[in-house]
A and B are shown apart, each in its own frame.
Chain A
Amino acid sequence: MIQIKGLTKQYGLTTVLRGVNLHVREGEFVTLVGSNGAGKSTLLRIVATLLKPSGGEVTIGGWPLPSHAHNVRRHIGLVSHHALLYGDMTAAENLMFFARLYGIDNREEVVSTALKRVGLTARRRDAVRTFSRGMVQRLTIARATLHEPDVLLLDEPFTGLDQDASALLNRLLLREHEIGRTILLITHDLIRGISLSDRVAILNRGKIVHTVTRDDISATEFVTLYQQVVHGDHVAELPG
Protein backbone atom coordinates (compact mmCIF):
# COMPACT_ATOMS: atom_id res chain seq x y z
CA MET A 1 0.00 0.00 0.00
CA ILE A 2 2.84 2.39 0.92
CA GLN A 3 6.06 1.92 -1.03
CA ILE A 4 9.06 4.10 -0.23
CA LYS A 5 12.32 3.66 -2.15
CA GLY A 6 15.49 5.68 -1.65
CA LEU A 7 13.59 8.64 -0.19
CA THR A 8 15.68 11.71 0.54
CA LYS A 9 14.70 15.08 1.92
CA GLN A 10 16.87 18.14 2.29
CA TYR A 11 16.17 21.53 3.83
CA GLY A 12 18.81 23.76 2.33
CA LEU A 13 22.13 22.20 3.30
CA THR A 14 20.59 19.96 5.95
CA THR A 15 19.77 16.41 4.92
CA VAL A 16 16.93 15.00 7.01
CA LEU A 17 16.19 11.74 5.15
CA ARG A 18 19.04 9.80 3.54
CA GLY A 19 17.57 7.09 1.34
CA VAL A 20 14.66 5.63 3.31
CA ASN A 21 13.25 2.30 2.09
CA LEU A 22 9.99 1.05 3.57
CA HIS A 23 7.14 -1.10 2.35
CA VAL A 24 3.86 -1.18 4.23
CA ARG A 25 1.47 -3.86 2.99
CA GLU A 26 -2.29 -3.34 2.71
CA GLY A 27 -3.92 -3.71 6.13
CA GLU A 28 -0.57 -3.75 7.93
CA PHE A 29 0.13 -1.71 11.09
CA VAL A 30 3.68 -0.37 11.03
CA THR A 31 5.25 1.82 13.69
CA LEU A 32 8.21 4.06 13.07
CA VAL A 33 10.35 4.87 16.10
CA GLY A 34 13.43 7.01 16.44
CA SER A 35 15.00 9.74 18.48
CA ASN A 36 14.25 13.45 18.08
CA GLY A 37 15.51 14.75 14.75
CA ALA A 38 15.68 11.28 13.18
CA GLY A 39 13.33 12.42 10.41
CA LYS A 40 10.14 10.60 11.48
CA SER A 41 7.76 13.54 11.17
CA THR A 42 9.34 14.63 7.88
CA LEU A 43 8.81 11.13 6.50
CA LEU A 44 5.18 11.11 7.61
CA ARG A 45 4.54 14.59 6.19
CA ILE A 46 5.88 13.43 2.82
CA VAL A 47 3.59 10.38 2.87
CA ALA A 48 0.73 12.70 3.91
CA THR A 49 1.44 14.85 0.79
CA LEU A 50 2.25 17.88 2.96
CA LEU A 51 5.92 17.93 1.90
CA LYS A 52 7.62 17.16 -1.37
CA PRO A 53 10.51 14.69 -1.37
CA SER A 54 13.93 15.82 -2.60
CA GLY A 55 14.62 12.44 -4.19
CA GLY A 56 13.54 8.81 -4.32
CA GLU A 57 10.11 7.30 -4.88
CA VAL A 58 6.97 7.26 -2.76
CA THR A 59 3.82 5.52 -3.96
CA ILE A 60 0.56 5.06 -2.11
CA GLY A 61 -1.97 2.62 -3.50
CA GLY A 62 0.08 2.62 -6.71
CA TRP A 63 -0.03 6.42 -7.13
CA PRO A 64 3.36 8.14 -7.16
CA LEU A 65 3.95 11.23 -5.03
CA PRO A 66 3.98 14.14 -5.41
CA SER A 67 2.65 13.95 -8.99
CA HIS A 68 -0.59 12.15 -8.00
CA ALA A 69 -1.07 13.76 -4.61
CA HIS A 70 -4.63 14.76 -5.51
CA ASN A 71 -5.61 11.08 -6.01
CA VAL A 72 -3.79 9.95 -2.89
CA ARG A 73 -5.41 12.52 -0.59
CA ARG A 74 -8.83 10.86 -0.81
CA HIS A 75 -7.30 7.65 0.56
CA ILE A 76 -5.33 8.95 3.53
CA GLY A 77 -6.27 10.24 6.96
CA LEU A 78 -3.86 12.11 9.24
CA VAL A 79 -3.76 12.29 13.03
CA SER A 80 -1.10 14.53 14.49
CA HIS A 81 -0.09 15.75 17.94
CA HIS A 82 -1.76 18.96 16.77
CA ALA A 83 -5.54 18.59 16.84
CA LEU A 84 -6.00 19.82 13.22
CA LEU A 85 -9.42 21.05 14.34
CA TYR A 86 -10.97 24.50 14.81
CA GLY A 87 -11.16 25.20 18.54
CA ASP A 88 -13.89 27.81 18.09
CA MET A 89 -16.26 25.45 16.27
CA THR A 90 -18.26 22.64 17.87
CA ALA A 91 -17.36 18.98 17.43
CA ALA A 92 -20.22 18.45 14.98
CA GLU A 93 -19.39 21.61 13.00
CA ASN A 94 -15.76 20.51 12.64
CA LEU A 95 -16.75 17.09 11.32
CA MET A 96 -19.45 18.59 9.08
CA PHE A 97 -16.88 20.95 7.58
CA PHE A 98 -14.43 18.16 6.76
CA ALA A 99 -17.26 15.94 5.48
CA ARG A 100 -18.08 18.69 2.98
CA LEU A 101 -14.44 19.03 1.91
CA TYR A 102 -14.39 15.30 1.11
CA GLY A 103 -17.70 15.53 -0.75
CA ILE A 104 -19.44 13.02 1.53
CA ASP A 105 -23.13 12.83 0.59
CA ASN A 106 -25.03 11.69 3.70
CA ARG A 107 -23.12 14.06 5.97
CA GLU A 108 -25.50 14.24 8.94
CA GLU A 109 -25.56 10.47 9.29
CA VAL A 110 -21.79 10.08 8.78
CA VAL A 111 -21.02 12.78 11.36
CA SER A 112 -23.43 11.28 13.92
CA THR A 113 -21.95 7.80 13.42
CA ALA A 114 -18.40 9.14 13.75
CA LEU A 115 -19.22 11.00 16.97
CA LYS A 116 -20.91 7.89 18.38
CA ARG A 117 -17.90 5.74 17.47
CA VAL A 118 -15.54 7.92 19.52
CA GLY A 119 -18.03 8.46 22.37
CA LEU A 120 -18.60 12.18 21.85
CA THR A 121 -22.29 12.29 20.91
CA ALA A 122 -23.20 14.08 24.14
CA ARG A 123 -20.60 16.80 23.43
CA ARG A 124 -21.44 17.33 19.76
CA ARG A 125 -22.65 20.90 20.32
CA ASP A 126 -19.70 21.93 22.51
CA ALA A 127 -16.76 23.97 21.23
CA VAL A 128 -13.61 21.89 20.75
CA ARG A 129 -11.79 24.51 22.83
CA THR A 130 -13.62 23.18 25.92
CA PHE A 131 -12.53 19.56 25.35
CA SER A 132 -9.88 17.69 27.31
CA ARG A 133 -6.78 16.54 25.39
CA GLY A 134 -8.12 12.98 25.27
CA MET A 135 -11.47 14.09 23.86
CA VAL A 136 -9.70 16.21 21.25
CA GLN A 137 -7.64 13.21 20.11
CA ARG A 138 -10.79 11.06 19.87
CA LEU A 139 -12.43 13.74 17.75
CA THR A 140 -9.25 13.91 15.66
CA ILE A 141 -9.54 10.17 14.96
CA ALA A 142 -13.18 10.72 13.96
CA ARG A 143 -12.12 13.53 11.62
CA ALA A 144 -9.29 11.54 10.08
CA THR A 145 -11.49 8.49 9.40
CA LEU A 146 -14.64 10.36 8.34
CA HIS A 147 -14.04 9.60 4.65
CA GLU A 148 -13.10 5.95 5.32
CA PRO A 149 -9.46 6.27 4.21
CA ASP A 150 -7.46 3.17 3.31
CA VAL A 151 -4.37 4.54 5.04
CA LEU A 152 -4.24 6.14 8.48
CA LEU A 153 -1.12 8.17 9.32
CA LEU A 154 -0.45 9.02 12.96
CA ASP A 155 2.24 11.42 14.17
CA GLU A 156 2.78 11.12 17.95
CA PRO A 157 -0.94 10.86 18.70
CA PHE A 158 -0.31 9.89 22.34
CA THR A 159 1.47 13.16 23.20
CA GLY A 160 -0.08 14.76 26.28
CA LEU A 161 -2.59 11.98 26.94
CA ASP A 162 -3.08 10.50 30.42
CA GLN A 163 -3.21 6.73 30.94
CA ASP A 164 -6.97 6.38 30.48
CA ALA A 165 -7.01 8.52 27.34
CA SER A 166 -4.01 6.59 25.95
CA ALA A 167 -5.75 3.27 26.61
CA LEU A 168 -8.86 4.53 24.84
CA LEU A 169 -6.80 5.73 21.89
CA ASN A 170 -5.09 2.31 21.82
CA ARG A 171 -8.48 0.63 21.51
CA LEU A 172 -9.55 3.03 18.77
CA LEU A 173 -6.38 2.36 16.78
CA LEU A 174 -6.70 -1.39 17.15
CA ARG A 175 -10.30 -1.15 15.93
CA GLU A 176 -9.13 0.82 12.89
CA HIS A 177 -6.54 -1.91 12.27
CA GLU A 178 -9.15 -4.67 12.66
CA ILE A 179 -11.37 -3.16 9.99
CA GLY A 180 -8.46 -3.37 7.58
CA ARG A 181 -6.93 0.08 7.46
CA THR A 182 -3.24 0.34 6.71
CA ILE A 183 -1.66 2.24 9.60
CA LEU A 184 1.66 4.05 9.83
CA LEU A 185 2.29 5.28 13.37
CA ILE A 186 5.11 7.47 14.62
CA THR A 187 5.85 7.37 18.31
CA HIS A 188 8.60 7.76 20.89
CA ASP A 189 6.92 5.10 23.01
CA LEU A 190 8.81 1.89 22.17
CA ILE A 191 6.63 -0.45 24.26
CA ARG A 192 3.43 0.94 22.75
CA GLY A 193 4.94 0.75 19.28
CA ILE A 194 5.89 -2.93 19.50
CA SER A 195 2.69 -3.94 21.30
CA LEU A 196 0.27 -2.21 18.92
CA SER A 197 1.76 -2.86 15.53
CA ASP A 198 2.62 -5.77 13.24
CA ARG A 199 6.06 -4.38 12.51
CA VAL A 200 8.34 -1.69 13.91
CA ALA A 201 10.99 0.18 11.96
CA ILE A 202 13.76 2.13 13.65
CA LEU A 203 14.68 5.39 11.94
CA ASN A 204 18.06 6.80 12.89
CA ARG A 205 19.74 9.85 11.34
CA GLY A 206 17.48 9.80 8.31
CA LYS A 207 17.70 6.08 7.53
CA ILE A 208 15.74 2.99 8.52
CA VAL A 209 18.38 0.98 10.31
CA HIS A 210 16.35 -1.94 11.59
CA THR A 211 12.93 -3.53 11.16
CA VAL A 212 11.39 -6.14 13.45
CA THR A 213 8.06 -7.94 13.50
CA ARG A 214 6.12 -8.17 16.74
CA ASP A 215 6.12 -11.99 16.71
CA ASP A 216 9.91 -12.14 16.53
CA ILE A 217 10.78 -10.10 19.59
CA SER A 218 9.52 -9.31 23.08
CA ALA A 219 8.95 -5.72 24.20
CA THR A 220 11.96 -5.85 26.52
CA GLU A 221 14.21 -7.22 23.79
CA PHE A 222 13.00 -4.52 21.47
CA VAL A 223 13.87 -1.75 23.91
CA THR A 224 17.39 -3.23 24.24
CA LEU A 225 17.68 -3.53 20.48
CA TYR A 226 16.57 0.09 20.03
CA GLN A 227 19.15 1.36 22.52
CA GLN A 228 21.88 -0.59 20.77
CA VAL A 229 20.88 0.45 17.27
CA VAL A 230 20.40 4.11 18.06
CA HIS A 231 23.52 4.35 20.22
CA GLY A 232 25.57 2.42 17.67
CA ASP A 233 26.24 -0.81 19.58
CA HIS A 234 26.56 -4.27 18.05
CA VAL A 235 23.21 -5.87 17.20
CA ALA A 236 24.13 -8.97 15.24
CA GLU A 237 23.02 -11.46 17.90
CA LEU A 238 19.56 -9.94 18.23
CA PRO A 239 16.59 -11.09 16.14
CA GLY A 240 15.20 -9.09 13.23
Chain B
Amino acid sequence: MNRSGLFWTQLRALVWKDLQIERHTKQSIGIMLMFAIVAVVTFNFALENNLGAVREVAGGLLWVTILLAGTLGLNRSFASELENRPIDAMLIAPMDRSTMFMGKVISVSLFTLAMELILIPVFIAISNKPFYRPEVLLLITLGTIGYVAAGVLVSSMAVQTRANYVLVPVLLLPLSLPVVLAAATGVAQYMGLNKPPFADVSATFALVIAYDLLMLAAGLFTYNYVVEE
Protein backbone atom coordinates (compact mmCIF):
# COMPACT_ATOMS: atom_id res chain seq x y z
CA MET B 1 0.00 0.00 0.00
CA ASN B 2 1.45 3.39 -0.95
CA ARG B 3 1.88 6.24 1.54
CA SER B 4 -1.22 8.14 0.45
CA GLY B 5 -3.38 5.00 0.47
CA LEU B 6 -2.11 4.11 3.93
CA PHE B 7 -2.89 7.62 5.20
CA TRP B 8 -6.54 7.37 4.15
CA THR B 9 -6.86 3.79 5.46
CA GLN B 10 -5.43 4.87 8.81
CA LEU B 11 -7.56 8.02 8.98
CA ARG B 12 -10.71 5.99 8.26
CA ALA B 13 -9.62 3.43 10.86
CA LEU B 14 -9.18 6.09 13.55
CA VAL B 15 -12.61 7.60 12.91
CA TRP B 16 -14.19 4.13 12.62
CA LYS B 17 -12.65 3.17 15.97
CA ASP B 18 -14.15 6.18 17.76
CA LEU B 19 -17.52 5.58 16.11
CA GLN B 20 -17.44 1.91 17.21
CA ILE B 21 -16.65 2.90 20.80
CA GLU B 22 -19.50 5.42 20.70
CA ARG B 23 -21.83 2.79 19.18
CA HIS B 24 -21.05 0.44 22.07
CA THR B 25 -21.03 2.96 24.93
CA LYS B 26 -23.15 5.88 23.66
CA GLN B 27 -21.23 7.97 26.17
CA SER B 28 -19.73 10.94 24.27
CA ILE B 29 -22.92 12.15 22.59
CA GLY B 30 -25.03 11.00 25.53
CA ILE B 31 -23.05 12.96 28.14
CA MET B 32 -22.81 16.05 25.93
CA LEU B 33 -26.51 16.00 25.14
CA MET B 34 -27.56 15.45 28.73
CA PHE B 35 -25.40 18.36 29.85
CA ALA B 36 -26.64 20.58 27.00
CA ILE B 37 -30.31 19.95 27.76
CA VAL B 38 -29.78 20.58 31.48
CA ALA B 39 -27.92 23.81 30.64
CA VAL B 40 -30.70 25.02 28.32
CA VAL B 41 -33.40 24.29 30.90
CA THR B 42 -31.31 26.03 33.60
CA PHE B 43 -30.78 29.11 31.40
CA ASN B 44 -34.48 29.20 30.69
CA PHE B 45 -35.40 29.10 34.37
CA ALA B 46 -32.62 31.55 35.29
CA LEU B 47 -34.15 34.04 32.89
CA GLU B 48 -37.50 33.30 34.54
CA ASN B 49 -39.12 32.28 31.30
CA ASN B 50 -38.52 35.80 30.03
CA LEU B 51 -38.82 35.08 26.33
CA GLY B 52 -37.46 38.48 25.41
CA ALA B 53 -34.30 37.98 27.43
CA VAL B 54 -33.78 34.45 26.07
CA ARG B 55 -34.11 35.82 22.54
CA GLU B 56 -31.56 38.54 23.19
CA VAL B 57 -28.86 36.24 24.46
CA ALA B 58 -29.77 33.04 22.60
CA GLY B 59 -26.65 33.07 20.39
CA GLY B 60 -24.35 33.47 23.37
CA LEU B 61 -26.19 30.83 25.38
CA LEU B 62 -25.88 28.39 22.50
CA TRP B 63 -22.11 28.83 22.37
CA VAL B 64 -21.67 28.58 26.13
CA THR B 65 -23.58 25.29 25.99
CA ILE B 66 -21.52 24.00 23.05
CA LEU B 67 -18.29 25.02 24.75
CA LEU B 68 -18.97 23.26 28.03
CA ALA B 69 -20.62 20.20 26.51
CA GLY B 70 -17.76 19.96 24.01
CA THR B 71 -15.23 19.87 26.85
CA LEU B 72 -17.07 16.88 28.32
CA GLY B 73 -17.02 15.17 24.92
CA LEU B 74 -13.29 15.74 24.55
CA ASN B 75 -12.59 14.36 28.02
CA ARG B 76 -14.66 11.26 27.32
CA SER B 77 -12.99 10.69 23.96
CA PHE B 78 -9.50 10.85 25.46
CA ALA B 79 -10.47 8.74 28.47
CA SER B 80 -10.85 5.74 26.14
CA GLU B 81 -7.25 6.26 24.95
CA LEU B 82 -5.91 6.15 28.49
CA GLU B 83 -7.76 3.16 29.94
CA ASN B 84 -5.45 0.19 29.14
CA ARG B 85 -3.17 2.63 27.23
CA PRO B 86 -4.17 1.69 23.65
CA ILE B 87 -2.59 5.04 22.72
CA ASP B 88 0.83 3.35 23.15
CA ALA B 89 -0.11 0.69 20.59
CA MET B 90 -1.14 3.49 18.21
CA LEU B 91 2.09 5.39 18.81
CA ILE B 92 4.21 2.40 17.76
CA ALA B 93 2.16 1.83 14.60
CA PRO B 94 3.75 3.12 11.37
CA MET B 95 1.52 6.17 11.28
CA ASP B 96 2.17 9.89 11.06
CA ARG B 97 1.13 11.71 14.23
CA SER B 98 -0.77 14.20 12.07
CA THR B 99 -3.07 11.33 11.03
CA MET B 100 -3.87 10.70 14.70
CA PHE B 101 -4.66 14.39 15.16
CA MET B 102 -6.92 14.54 12.12
CA GLY B 103 -8.71 11.34 13.13
CA LYS B 104 -9.51 12.71 16.58
CA VAL B 105 -10.61 16.09 15.22
CA ILE B 106 -12.98 14.41 12.75
CA SER B 107 -14.54 12.02 15.26
CA VAL B 108 -14.96 14.56 18.10
CA SER B 109 -16.34 17.10 15.59
CA LEU B 110 -18.86 14.50 14.40
CA PHE B 111 -19.98 13.81 17.98
CA THR B 112 -20.25 17.52 18.80
CA LEU B 113 -22.14 18.28 15.57
CA ALA B 114 -24.50 15.37 16.31
CA MET B 115 -25.19 16.90 19.73
CA GLU B 116 -25.77 20.31 18.08
CA LEU B 117 -28.20 18.72 15.64
CA ILE B 118 -30.49 18.04 18.59
CA LEU B 119 -29.57 21.15 20.56
CA ILE B 120 -30.33 23.69 17.82
CA PRO B 121 -34.03 22.75 17.44
CA VAL B 122 -34.34 23.10 21.23
CA PHE B 123 -32.89 26.62 20.99
CA ILE B 124 -35.24 27.44 18.12
CA ALA B 125 -38.16 26.22 20.24
CA ILE B 126 -37.27 28.29 23.32
CA SER B 127 -36.13 31.47 21.57
CA ASN B 128 -38.03 31.46 18.27
CA LYS B 129 -34.83 32.69 16.61
CA PRO B 130 -33.70 31.70 13.09
CA PHE B 131 -30.89 29.30 14.06
CA TYR B 132 -31.89 27.27 10.98
CA ARG B 133 -30.43 29.83 8.57
CA PRO B 134 -27.69 28.20 6.44
CA GLU B 135 -25.20 30.94 7.38
CA VAL B 136 -25.83 30.31 11.08
CA LEU B 137 -25.43 26.55 10.63
CA LEU B 138 -22.21 27.16 8.68
CA LEU B 139 -20.86 29.43 11.43
CA ILE B 140 -21.72 26.87 14.09
CA THR B 141 -20.06 24.08 12.07
CA LEU B 142 -16.91 26.11 11.39
CA GLY B 143 -16.75 27.31 14.99
CA THR B 144 -17.15 23.74 16.24
CA ILE B 145 -14.30 22.48 14.04
CA GLY B 146 -11.94 25.21 15.30
CA TYR B 147 -12.94 24.63 18.90
CA VAL B 148 -12.50 20.85 18.59
CA ALA B 149 -9.10 21.22 16.84
CA ALA B 150 -7.89 23.40 19.73
CA GLY B 151 -9.47 20.95 22.16
CA VAL B 152 -7.72 17.92 20.67
CA LEU B 153 -4.37 19.71 20.89
CA VAL B 154 -4.92 20.74 24.49
CA SER B 155 -6.37 17.37 25.54
CA SER B 156 -3.45 15.51 23.96
CA MET B 157 -1.05 17.61 26.01
CA ALA B 158 -3.14 17.31 29.15
CA VAL B 159 -3.47 13.50 29.02
CA GLN B 160 0.26 13.25 29.72
CA THR B 161 -0.29 14.96 33.07
CA ARG B 162 -2.04 13.84 36.24
CA ALA B 163 -4.40 16.82 36.31
CA ASN B 164 -5.68 16.23 32.79
CA TYR B 165 -9.40 16.66 33.56
CA VAL B 166 -8.71 20.02 35.22
CA LEU B 167 -6.20 21.24 32.67
CA VAL B 168 -8.43 20.79 29.61
CA PRO B 169 -11.04 23.44 30.51
CA VAL B 170 -8.41 25.73 32.11
CA LEU B 171 -6.31 25.77 28.93
CA LEU B 172 -9.01 25.28 26.32
CA LEU B 173 -11.52 27.95 27.30
CA PRO B 174 -9.09 30.90 26.95
CA LEU B 175 -7.52 29.37 23.83
CA SER B 176 -10.88 28.97 22.12
CA LEU B 177 -12.11 32.44 23.09
CA PRO B 178 -11.31 34.07 19.69
CA VAL B 179 -13.32 31.54 17.70
CA VAL B 180 -16.17 31.40 20.20
CA LEU B 181 -16.47 35.19 20.40
CA ALA B 182 -16.37 35.52 16.62
CA ALA B 183 -18.85 32.72 16.02
CA ALA B 184 -21.21 33.96 18.76
CA THR B 185 -21.08 37.50 17.35
CA GLY B 186 -21.73 36.16 13.86
CA VAL B 187 -24.68 34.05 15.03
CA ALA B 188 -26.12 37.06 16.91
CA GLN B 189 -25.92 39.15 13.72
CA TYR B 190 -28.18 36.62 11.98
CA MET B 191 -30.79 36.56 14.75
CA GLY B 192 -32.69 39.61 13.49
CA LEU B 193 -35.75 39.51 11.27
CA ASN B 194 -33.72 40.35 8.19
CA LYS B 195 -30.47 38.76 7.13
CA PRO B 196 -27.53 41.16 7.35
CA PRO B 197 -25.63 41.83 4.11
CA PHE B 198 -22.66 39.47 3.77
CA ALA B 199 -20.25 42.40 3.82
CA ASP B 200 -21.28 43.02 7.45
CA VAL B 201 -20.42 39.49 8.56
CA SER B 202 -17.58 38.66 6.18
CA ALA B 203 -14.96 39.66 8.77
CA THR B 204 -16.54 37.27 11.29
CA PHE B 205 -16.48 34.41 8.78
CA ALA B 206 -12.88 35.24 7.89
CA LEU B 207 -11.85 35.20 11.54
CA VAL B 208 -13.53 31.85 12.24
CA ILE B 209 -12.00 30.28 9.10
CA ALA B 210 -8.58 31.70 9.94
CA TYR B 211 -8.80 30.27 13.46
CA ASP B 212 -9.79 26.86 12.06
CA LEU B 213 -6.86 26.86 9.63
CA LEU B 214 -4.46 28.02 12.33
CA MET B 215 -5.52 25.30 14.80
CA LEU B 216 -5.53 22.57 12.14
CA ALA B 217 -2.09 23.65 10.92
CA ALA B 218 -0.78 23.82 14.50
CA GLY B 219 -2.06 20.31 15.12
CA LEU B 220 -0.69 18.87 11.88
CA PHE B 221 2.77 20.34 12.38
CA THR B 222 3.19 20.01 16.15
CA TYR B 223 1.26 16.86 17.09
CA ASN B 224 4.46 14.83 16.85
CA TYR B 225 5.88 16.83 19.76
CA VAL B 226 2.58 16.93 21.62
CA VAL B 227 2.11 13.16 21.92
CA GLU B 228 5.73 12.07 22.23
CA GLU B 229 7.58 12.19 25.52
Q: Which positions in A face B, CB cutoff 8 Å?
A: 48-52, 70, 73-74, 76, 78, 80, 82-89, 93, 97-98, 100-103, 105, 127-128, 143-144
Inside 8 A of B88's CB, which chain A residues have their CB? 50, 78, 80, 82, 84
Q: How far is the CA of A51 from the CA of B90 in the complex (A)?
A: 14
| Cβ A105 vs Cβ B1 within 8 A | yes
Interface hits, B2-19 → A, CB 8 Å: 5-6, 9-10, 12-13, 16-17
Residue among A86, A89, A102 with the highest chain B CB neighbour number at 10 A: A86
Q: How far is the CA of A89 from the CA of B84 in the complex (A)?
A: 12
Q: Which positions in B face A, CB cutoff 8 Å?
A: 1, 5-6, 9-10, 12-13, 16-17, 20-21, 24-25, 80, 83-86, 88-95, 228-229
Residue among A51, A78, A98, A100 with the highest chain B CB neighbour number at 10 A: A100
Known: A97-B16, A103-B1, A103-B94. 6 other contacts (CB 8 A): A84-B84, A84-B85, A87-B83, A89-B17, A101-B95, A105-B1
| Cβ A73 vs Cβ B94 within 8 A | yes
Inside 8 A of B92's CB, which chain A residues have their CB? 48-50, 73, 76, 78
Q: How far is the CA of A105 from the CA of B13 in the complex (A)?
A: 13
| Cβ A100 vs Cβ B13 within 8 A | yes
| Cβ B86 vs Cβ A85 within 8 A | yes
Q: How far is the CB of A124 from chain B (nearest CB, A)?
A: 14
| Cβ A100 vs Cβ B84 within 8 A | no
**What DSSP secondary structure best describes chain B's contact surface?**
helix
Can you name 26 A-B pairs with beta carbons within 8 Å? Answer: A49-B92, A51-B229, A52-B228, A70-B94, A73-B93, A76-B92, A78-B88, A82-B85, A83-B84, A84-B84, A85-B84, A85-B86, A85-B89, A86-B17, A86-B84, A87-B83, A88-B24, A88-B25, A101-B10, A101-B93, A102-B94, A103-B1, A103-B5, A103-B94, A128-B84, A144-B89
The residue in chain A whose Cβ has the minimal distance to the Cβ of B87 is A84
Q: How far is the CA of A170 from the CA of B84 in the complex (A)?
A: 22
Q: How far is the CA of A101 from the CA of B6 in the complex (A)?
A: 8
| Cβ A127 vs Cβ B85 within 8 A | no
Q: How far is the CB of B93 from chain A (nearest CB, A)?
A: 4
Q: How far is the CA of A97 from the CA of B17 in the complex (A)?
A: 7
Q: How far is the CB of A129 from chain B (nearest CB, A)?
A: 9
Q: How far is the CA of A235 from the CA of B80 in the complex (A)?
A: 48
Inside 8 A of B83's CB, which chain A residues have their CB? 87
Q: How far is the CA of A144 from the CA of B88 in the complex (A)?
A: 12
Inside 8 A of B17's CB, which chain A residues have their CB? 86, 89, 93, 97
Inside 8 A of B91's CB, which chain A residues have their CB? 49-50
The residue in chain A whose Cβ has the minimal distance to the Cβ of B84 is A83
Q: How far is the CA of A93 from the CA of B88 in the complex (A)?
A: 17
Q: How far is the CB of A2 from chain B (nearest CB, A)?
A: 15
Inside 8 A of B20's CB, which chain A residues have their CB? 89, 93, 97
Q: How far is the CB of A218 from chain B (nearest CB, A)?
A: 36
Inside 8 A of A87's CB, which chain B residues have their CB? 83-84
Q: How far is the CA of A8 from the CA of B199 in the complex (A)?
A: 60
| Cβ A100 vs Cβ B9 within 8 A | yes
Q: How far is the CA of A83 from the CA of B82 in the complex (A)?
A: 11
Q: How far is the CA of A176 from the CA of B24 in the complex (A)?
A: 33
Inside 8 A of A97's CB, which chain B residues have their CB? 13, 16-17, 20
Inside 8 A of B86's CB, which chain A residues have their CB? 83-86
The residue in chain A whose Cβ has the minimal distance to the Cβ of B99 is A101
| Cβ A52 vs Cβ B93 within 8 A | no
Q: How far is the CA of A61 from the CA of B150 in the complex (A)?
A: 38
Q: How far is the CA of A15 from the CA of B83 in the complex (A)?
A: 29
| Cβ B85 vs Cβ A74 within 8 A | no
Q: How far is the CB of B162 from chain A (nearest CB, A)?
A: 15
| Cβ A98 vs Cβ B93 within 8 A | yes
The residue in chain A whose Cβ has the minimal distance to the Cβ of B100 is A101
